[in-house]
Structure 1
Amino acid sequence: MARILAGKAALVTGGSRGIGAASALALAELGADLVITYAGNKDAAERTVAALVEKGVRAYAVKADQSDTDEITNAVGQAHEKLGALDILVANAGVFASATVDAEDVAALDRMRVVNVEGVIATIRTASKLMRDDGRIIAMSSSAATRVGGSGVADYASSKAAVEGYIKGVARDLAARRITVNALGIGPVETDINPNSGPAAERRASGTALGRYAQPQEIAAVVAFVASPQASYITGAVIPVDGGAGA
């Protein structure tokens, strides 16, 4: 595979496992050096870094709580310092909490909003200041934001809809520097924290046209394309990677 991202420096938040780890590995396959952030699972982060290094790139892990702006700023700064540059940001870190509108305990919902919205905004804002021209910013959204509703997901959907609105404005802000800013509207993906088993998983899978969950590598392949030179004319877009959930 051509190493078309050789010499590029990438930061993947929430990169220790799942979609984040798969995205980091896909970028490493193309030659990008990487920093991944993790919230608490240091062992998983170190395993991912080892797998990245095996691809022949430089790779580092930085601990960062996505609900803490100071830690976000520090992590982005460390990524720039360790790699000597910053060209690609994959704002992948996020959390999910479910509750109907009449729920009384909303602490988890409040934290989700902070991580999924304020954390993403802080990451993008900080990274954009350090990023070289012709960079790539890719945020993870969800088919729940605009296409697929459901009981108990209103707060999650609204957090992802906020991200989609944000990236469209930032795409205009950074266009003069040829930095593209996009989001992926992903459907159900099989990970260790989102297993493809049980009645709820069957309902989610049946809601897609393809009738199945995605694998993290399928999302990562789109991340790699959007990060590549071939995607230079795509910006301000929410690209559906949802198995036809919105079809």
Structure 2
Amino acid sequence: MLGIFQAFMLGVIQGITEWLPVSSSGHLAIAQNYMGLNLPVSFDIALHVATLLVILLFFRKDVVGILTSLLRRDFRTEHGRLFLLIALGSIPTAIIGFALKGFFESMFADLHLVGGALLITGVLLVSSGKRNGSKNIGKMSAALMGLAQGFSVAPGISRSGATISAALFLGVDRMQAIRYSFLLAVPAILGAMLFELGSLSSSGIGPAPIASGFMASLAVGYFSLRLVIRAVMRRWFRWFAVYCFTAGLALLLLA
């Protein structure tokens, strides 16, 4: 049974690791294994909602701009073009997510696979951390970032790390990479939530643990998002890479 304190700690883990390039799903897999938990769908949905709210609050100007462009059916504006690029990037995310869903879910039970995925995240962060660029997001970078986001469904592959690294490899401006990376997450999170609603049933846990995890993820997540933006702009990715290498090797050797 998921208790209030366990839910709170899982919310904190989600809030920190969802935004930092260290893989939230990988850390939740580790926590679930060591706590002996199988998280109910209702709790997973609550964490998704918290994550979504953080993005909508932080990038509210862009969200309003995109919605305005949609209502006006004007795709020639900056936000209209941004919507089209988000739609483009969401296609490979959806294809990979559905095609490999079963395999990615099986990884949660095998911490050795999670450890290997964390090592891959570390390699991505090291290889892209010092790259500089000045390009805007285009069709190629949008599609590649969507592809990277699809593979980040695997526990141990950081969504922010994979998508931002993909953009930096293509010479995209750092702030543009951050902005698109997190806005691209919105349809992915909504899609995951809708998919999970289909398997929602009576979870056997009360509202208190769900609320505890939700609030922890929301509050911690907002500050973590600010930190990852600073990390990208100041080229701190290598420090997160060190963490991913350490955690990945520890899982391979000790799990």
What is the TM-score when the length of structure 2 is the normalising length?
A: 0.29
Q: Which has the higher strand share?
A: 1
Q: Which has the higher helix share?
A: 2
Q: Which has the higher contact order (CA 8 A, sep 6+)?
A: 2
